[in-house]
């Protein structure tokens, strides 16, 4: 097995005694490893660097993306939840296949294991990692932004007994806000994805204890309102970008929140 710690220490120089295909195959397996020190350690850093630098050839990157899309159906949660991280790297670097969007769309709202962290498996973060990919797809010109907004609504309305506990609501709200910066987004689509949320949660009075899925949704929408008001930063070092149809989005989010929590 490759000593990925040494590779990272050498500024991610490509080992001379292995083919790139073999190296990428090993990295792919490492990012599904049940050991968090392997999955979330040096192999992750090396793969991210190689994708960013264009070290891996285009055809092999596309094959890697196909592997990650297939991994959404893997029986192991750690394999499923690290697949969107790799796809996010690829899409951000300029790679894209429509089939990746389809696979992600099938997995994201259907995932039931929403643990942020596990003492044995380490970081899982299905909602947060999925949110990062949702933003990457939602900003891609070959993906209709309304499609990703509707997918976010499907994730927020999916039943669960797990209350987000590792800032998953923040990551999802920021992903939604980034999609809402698309200037080709119509006002109708910028607010229409909220209708199913209001319909799903607005019919009944809020009871206590508040159901987990409702708590998750409320917290996500509250942060989204703040981001609609203040803008969202693509990265921490960059200035905030305004949301397209900002006032309409604020009004629609406020109306849905009022509809859900009214007594």
pLDDT tens per residue across span 128-152:
999 999 999 999 999 999 999 999 9
Please report the pLDDT score of residue 263 as a whole number.
44
Q: Are residues 258 and 164 in the same domain?
A: yes
- The rounded distance, in Å, linking the Cα atoms of 119 and 261 is 35
pLDDT for the residue 223 = 98
Q: Is residue 177 part of a domain?
A: yes
Domain that holds residue 213: 144-263
161 and 257 part of one domain:
yes
Residue reference for tokens 């009075």: 205
On whether both 90 and 191 belong to a single domain, the answer is no
Whole-number pLDDT of residue 207: 65
Distance CA 160, CA 46 (A): 35
- Residues 153, 193: Cα–Cα separation, whole Å: 6
| Domain count across the chain | 2
Based on the domain organization, do 96 and 191 belong to the same domain? no
**What is the pLDDT confidence band of residue 205, given thresholds at 50, 70 and 90?**
low
User: Among residues 36, 98, 106, which one has the least CA distance to residue 65?
Assistant: 98
Is residue 85 scored above 70 in pLDDT? yes
Are residues 209 and 261 both part of a single domain?
A: yes
Average pLDDT, the chain: 95
221-231 mean pLDDT: 98
- The last residue of one of the domains, among 101, 136, 159, is 101
Q: What is the mean pLDDT of residues 53-67?
A: 98
């Amino acid at each position: 097995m490759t000593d990925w710690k040494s590779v990272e220490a050498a500024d991610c120089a490509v080992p001379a005694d292995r083919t790139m295909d073999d190296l990428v195959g090993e990295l792919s397996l490492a990012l599904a490893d049940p050991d968090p020190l392997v999955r979330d350690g040096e192999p992750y850093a090396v793969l991210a660097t190689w994708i960013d630098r264009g070290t891996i050839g285009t055809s092999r990157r596309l094959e890697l993306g196909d592997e990650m899309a297939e991994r959404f159906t893997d029986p192991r949660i750690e394999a499923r939840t690290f697949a969107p991280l790799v796809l996010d790297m690829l899409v951000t670097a300029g790679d894209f296949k429509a089939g990746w969007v389809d696979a992600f769309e099938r997995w994201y709202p259907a995932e039931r294991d929403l643990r942020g962290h596990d003492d044995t498996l380490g970081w899982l973060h299905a909602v947060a990692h999925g949110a990062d990919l949702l933003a990457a797809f939602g900003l891609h010109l070959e993906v209709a932004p309304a499609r990703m907004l509707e997918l976010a609504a499907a994730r927020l309305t999916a039943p669960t007994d797990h209350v987000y506990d590792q800032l998953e609501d923040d990551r999802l709200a920021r992903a939604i806000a980034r999609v809402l910066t698309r200037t080709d987004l119509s006002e109708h689509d910028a607010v229409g994805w909220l209708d199913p949320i209001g319909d799903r949660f607005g019919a009944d009075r809020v009871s206590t204890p508040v159901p987990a899925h409702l708590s998750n949704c409320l917290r996500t929408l509250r942060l989204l309102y703040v981001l609609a008001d203040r803008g969202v930063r693509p990265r921490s070092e960059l200035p905030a970008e305004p949301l397209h149809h900002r006032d309409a989005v604020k009004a629609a989010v406020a109306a849905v929140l009022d509809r859900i929590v009214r007594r």
